[in-house]
Structure 1
């Protein structure tokens, strides 16, 4: 039987995280309870770099709420705490970030300042460098149990905003291998990436030990469908709850 869907999801393009919230994917208060319902999502573009967080695929991981950054941006573009609870600019070139306590990666390992420094160092050393670091000259170190110090080659007053990029998400050390970065089970967030089927599909399950607001939905089932007609049909028939990029010529038929 086709599932009902909010008309607004057809009429406007909204970020997936917001769409999931509208779909009742997140609870309104901290609780360990949830539902067995899953969200079915259809994307237009498949991963281009094996879902490497150091590539543009990082934005998919962020939209699925399976990877997090030190800093987030609110609706007004202001920097807000993420995996860092606070930060200060020590001098023109030096910043210190306090890392949030009691956070675990999806594999159960605790988040540490060393993990943060390691993830950022991998981004700094990557070839090609993530786009958010184009022209940036950063060095990173650890200070105390929960402090990470970042030094910039030239004054960068927008460094906290730079660190909100999904390309600078933090992963457990186990994610980094000689063959690349594996985000399966190594990120943080209310949903854990548990399986990737090439460029066809991805599966995420609710992570019940998440440090923040827990997800109500049991998980997200993602399919990558480049064909616009097929995406429209998936939404029209109720096969998908959320569909990315409905062709303009088919919007009216989907919204009937």
Structure 2
């Protein structure tokens, strides 16, 4: 067993006090300014330091947080009413001017940030009074609330500039203490946090450990307390048998998917894409790669999402190699003397799970007469090829962005082909474009859902991409930490209420 072989290497010696919890992270955050940080570590840590205007519930609907309520006087105006009595961690009161500054600084050139694209439809935000913010839009955009929600947004003090991420100040449950690149980020609890907490963790040391094996050893020796989706599943299974360690596993919202380049033969024929779907045995792949800790997906939206179509509303693709072969035959791809009807190429990164997925898929597609060639490269090269359309098919994962139904616009709208958006397969359907445009601008939730369900029906039939599965979130922790309840996005929010012995 790998962990046993490497145990002689040893790990960090624990020197923290009893109130400190050590959380393993894979890399340093690219910024602790919530207006700038876009990597997973930044958004998870920022969620502890800062507060959003609204929070998503289990159906990914929006609930009050810093904003106690909001209304729409017209299609291009939002008015938010803020909670009174909230203070930043340095004692300053949080008010409407801070919220307006946070939004405006991402769109008026104060900051150069990739997150500015989330607010491209915003004209300006202004404080109407101490606790009321008015946001004027250039056009109607129903995704504004999503972009103001937890994991994506955090209110900063008015005047915060480009260097704010070095010593960030928010209104969240933990305040920033220090950060050292490629080593750690240290936070400490705010006793007077406005939302209260059932937890008693006094200090968090978020320790950077890039290697999964080293992370597993840290947990095994109790040199670290918590790791969220850091170690591989075979390591999780080994760690579950170590005295004093536990694993909390639960449904995750990120989705793995396979994408097709639909601009050229043979994948410009939906029958070929459907044949690939029927030739796959996704349940077998889940059992083999994810040890059963994943759920087969029918759509990009997480299960239980308010806009997700029910499985019965969508075309299904159970494992059926004979049906796949029949579709290829109907499309004019006849078996040669070796039984091969069609040759395809799949590009992957060097990520181990994706590479193994491709190898299993290669075997499964062979039964339908599809010879699959694999091309693997480091992620930068792989992603560059994907973005410029130099592929036939590939597999990737949507993380967090698929919690907003606007993912269908970003991934499939004709207007969103790279470099503008994420429609890397160059799919184009006028009906889908029309439905997405309507869904993005109507405030009627039932009408929006109907439009999104219709989009999902079309995508399930035409299959420019195949939703694969939703991997579980796995939180491995020592038994000195309890009260851990994870969420679908795999955030660190549970640390607010966790208890340390």
- Output the TM-score relative to the length of structure 2: 0.41
Distance 2:232 2:116 in 1: 28
Residue 67 of structure 2 is aligned to residue 71 of structure 1: no
1:52 maps to what in 2?
33
Structure number with larger C-alpha Rg: 2
- Aligned counterpart in structure 2 of residue 144 of structure 1, from 121, 126, 129: 129
CA displacement at 1:165 relative to structure 2: 4.9
CA displacement at 1:39 relative to structure 2: 1.7
Matches within 5 A, 1:28-177: 37-48=19-30, 50-53=31-34, 54-57=36-39, 58-63=42-47, 65-125=48-108, 126-130=111-115, 133=118, 135-173=120-158, 176-177=160-161
CA displacement at 1:187 relative to structure 2: 0.5
2:457 maps to what in 1?
none
Q: Give unpaired runs (5+ residues) of structure 1.
A: 1-34
Over the aligned positions, Cα root-mean-square deviation in angstroms equals 2.1
**Greater helix proportion:** 2
Aligned partner of residue 173 in structure 1, secondary structure: coil
Aligned partner of residue 40 in structure 1, secondary structure: strand
1:28 maps to what in 2?
none
Which segment is superposed worse, 223-232 or 235-244?
A: 235-244
Distance 1:73 1:42 in 2: 25
- Aligned counterpart in structure 2 of residue 190 of structure 1, from 163, 173, 180: 173
Distance 2:115 2:236 in 1: 35
CA displacement at 1:232 relative to structure 2: 0.6
CA displacement at 1:120 relative to structure 2: 1.2
- Aligned counterpart in structure 2 of residue 202 of structure 1, from 173, 179, 185: 185
| Residues matched between the structures, number | 218
Q: Which has the higher contact order (CA 8 A, sep 6+)?
A: 1
CA displacement at 1:82 relative to structure 2: 1.2
Distance 1:242 1:62, change over 3 A: same
- Output the TM-score relative to the length of structure 1: 0.78
